[in-house]
Chain A
């Protein structure tokens, strides 16, 4: 394999972006760091998206590979060693220049650096380390950095990188060890989980240290994430979310990303889905993922061995609710917050608003609507002041029919690629984080 080093920067950027685009994570959230004289950049806890590409995915970070050269032969990957593509690599200096210049023009929130494996895991990570060390020290960059850890790297090197990066991630790729063995001959489950455990321990130890020394250097402050490919192997949805749940519990992950499998290199081990990538399935998994993380659901409640896949026509929350009608309807004026969260059509923000507002007076359905409750779903599960929104038959089949009428169009549009909503935790996620006292004062007297 020949690595083309004399390509111009534009061509390199094109090749190494093209090779990185299948990685899903592009969030810049999880850490809040103010700007400082003498440095460039800050970060915001909620994260900032800077653009949206033609596929509707957010562009927050400069997502590139350091090199698309690779010694592994993972069947699903465009950069597999047996695939005939032009190979190239950045130099640390080029990575720094691109990041800084893009950042100054407000194109990006920071850098997402991943890589194929050049010679060995250690050699590659050493190059990555040099790039982000220069970015932090020479260019005095205070923005967001997400680094992908390559399984098999020396733990000491990962630790050094962890003190410079905001987030690190190790891709699990496939939810079960068998699939991994089949599709990625060079990797094993243990090899992937090892650095993940290392980063988790590092974060935990750093937390203790920070409790004592407030100014101690921070290790991977935005936590770690991972991603799994959906639809390349025969695993069902139940296995996927069980794996995700285990990762959240045992490895303290911030996010698990799901990536609908896109056939890039044909292989006899891989399916060739007829109707394009399984976008609807990916969407349902994300919905369920949100339920696990923010709504207090457990994987076993949503699916079971007998019902291993999500309903195509109903979102996981509605699906759960119509199967548990004995818990509904819920009274908006008195129900506890946790109970409200489980009502379809209510989110974290609208539930909080209801809990705050009802202490001061009666609410009606018009109020709920203004708080952001989606009444076309919530109406079947909610009473307000003892009444339902409109009279209807409180019975599983009837409610399912009504809900499906609305959802069928959405489901069709997502699976046929005409619409896809990016999930958001809040209905108005774009609100800024609350400014502090000094900001408020400055704002008031026009000093900003």
Chain B
């Protein structure tokens, strides 16, 4: 068994897929793992794969041509999933898809397809939840500032939604867990910054006190509930506790 260790991110994983094929060892004799957090095993030949944009682009092109645009998009979303097995799942999906073409997306009974379907769904669901539950506060500087703490690496998907929604606003959306931030300027540019220091996040958080509309919103939120229908269990089903840490009305 040969284990290929690839870098994190969609490009990193696709570069790994490229090298697995380029090695001509046969898919069944190879495994693709993320270098990050890989535990060395016995009786394995380990090869490291650097991220290369060109290789990733070729693989993505092939997926799009041989399977479909949609397949490529699903792989992209699956690559954002938190599971350490995501790289290998993407490899298996591509291996199967090269054989059967665009109908692969419908073959849910195949394990390789189902795994990607499951990861894609989890990522898309979480991204959608954060589109719903992300909250911004206006800082004194006029910047709208929001913080999220997702399980999967969904900030790109979430930021895309807000870039469309608020094209002329300066806003910053920060992923506290991965210390990534999406910064949107009123000119329309959206940039994702990685590796932000903890202190800067703390400093921003300290600055955000004193937005008058948070109080009005809490009033609305409290008043809109009908006492006779009180149902905390349903509320918790729809709005899980883990999101509430970042939601204005639950502070």
Given A422-B238, A428-B121, A107 and B248 touching (CB < 8 A)?
Answer: yes
- State which of A317-325, A390-398, A432-440 sits at the interface with chain B: A432-440
Interface string of A374-418 (1 = CB under 8 A from B): 000000000000000000000000000000000000000000011
Which of B20-28, B32-40, B127-135 is the interface stretch? B127-135
B157 at the interface (CB under 8 A from A): yes
Residues of B within 8 Å of A22, CB to CB, are 226
A107 to B219 Cα, complex, angstroms: 12
Q: Is the CB of A42 within 8 A of B10?
A: no
* Docked pose: A57 CA to B237 CA in angstroms: 11
B213 within 8 A of A: yes
Q: Are B109 and A18 in contact (CB under 8 A)?
A: no
* Residue in chain B with minimal CB distance to A107: B217
Chain A's nearest CB lies how many Å from the CB of B217? 5
Nearest A residue to B127 by beta-carbon distance? A432
Chain A interface residue count, Cβ-Cβ cutoff 8 angstroms: 75
Whether A105 pairs with B138 at a CB distance below 8 angstroms is yes
Q: Does B168 contact A (CB under 8 A)?
A: yes
| CB atoms of B223 and A49 under 8 A apart | no
Interface stretch (choices B67-75, B85-93, B197-205): B67-75
Question: B212-233 interface mask toward A, CB cutoff 8 Å, 1 = contact, 0 = none?
Answer: 0111110111011111111111
In whole angstroms, what is the CA distance A34 to B156 when docked?
Answer: 18
Of all chain A residues, which has the CB nearest B130?
Answer: A106
A202 to chain B, nearest CB (A): 28
Query: Which A residue's beta carbon lies closest to that of B121?
Result: A428
Is there an interface contact between B225 and A262, defined as CB atoms closer than 8 Å? no
Contact segment of A67-75, A83-91, A247-255, A356-364? A356-364
A263 CB to nearest B CB, Å: 8
Using A10-B219, A51-B133 as known contacts, say yes or no to A431 and B125 having CB atoms under 8 A apart. yes
Q: In the complex, what residues of A have CB within 8 A of residue B230's CB?
A: 54-55, 417
For residue A370, CB closer than 8 A to chain B, the reply is yes
Interface flags for B181-213 (1: CB within 8 Å of A; 0: not) read 000000010101000000000000000000101
- B136 engages A105 (CB within 8 Å): yes
- Binary contact readout A226-243 vs B (1 if CB under 8 angstroms, 0 otherwise): 000000000000000000
B234 CB-CB contact with A under 8 Å: yes
CB of A13 closer than 8 Å to a CB of B: yes
Decide yes or no: A37 and B168 within 8 Å by CB, A22-B226, A54-B235, A370-B108 being known contacts. Answer: yes
A50 near B235: Cβ-Cβ < 8 Å: no
Instruction: Indicate if A123 sits at the interface (CB-CB under 8 A).
Output: no
Complex Cα gap A360–B107 (Å): 6
Please give the distance in Å from A226's CB to the nearest CB on chain B. Answer: 20
- Hey, which chain A residues are within 8 Å of B129, CB to CB? 430
Of B121, B164, B238, which contacts A42 at CB under 8 A?
B164
Q: Does B18 contact A (CB under 8 A)?
A: no
Residue among A37, A59, A107, A363 having the largest count of chain B Cβ atoms under 10 Å: A107
Alpha-carbon separation in the docked complex, A439 to B72 (Å) = 12
Secondary structure of the A contact surface, majority rule: loop
Contact (Cβ within 8 A) B76 A443: yes
A101 touches B213 (CB 8 A): yes
B151 in contact (CB, < 8 A): no
Given contacts A13-B220, A431-B128, A367 and B165 within 8 Å (CB-CB) = no
- In the complex, how many angstroms separate the beta carbon of B112 from the nearest chain A beta carbon? 13
B169 CB within 8 Å of chain A? yes
Q: Mark B154-179, 1 if CB is under 8 A from A, else 0.
A: 00110110111111110000000000
Whether A448 contacts B249 in the complex (CB less than 8 A), given A35-B167, A104-B144, A360-B107, comes out as: no
Provide the bound-state CA to CA distance between A446 and B60, in Å: 13
Known: A55-B225, A105-B144, A440-B70. 8 other contacts (CB 8 A): A34-B164, A39-B168, A52-B235, A59-B224, A105-B138, A105-B248, A357-B107, A448-B160
A-B contact pairs, 29 of them (CB 8 A): A9-B216, A10-B219, A13-B223, A14-B219, A17-B220, A36-B167, A42-B165, A51-B249, A54-B232, A54-B235, A55-B226, A56-B232, A57-B226, A63-B224, A101-B216, A106-B135, A106-B162, A107-B248, A277-B228, A356-B108, A359-B106, A367-B109, A419-B233, A421-B234, A432-B127, A443-B73, A443-B156, A443-B160, A444-B72
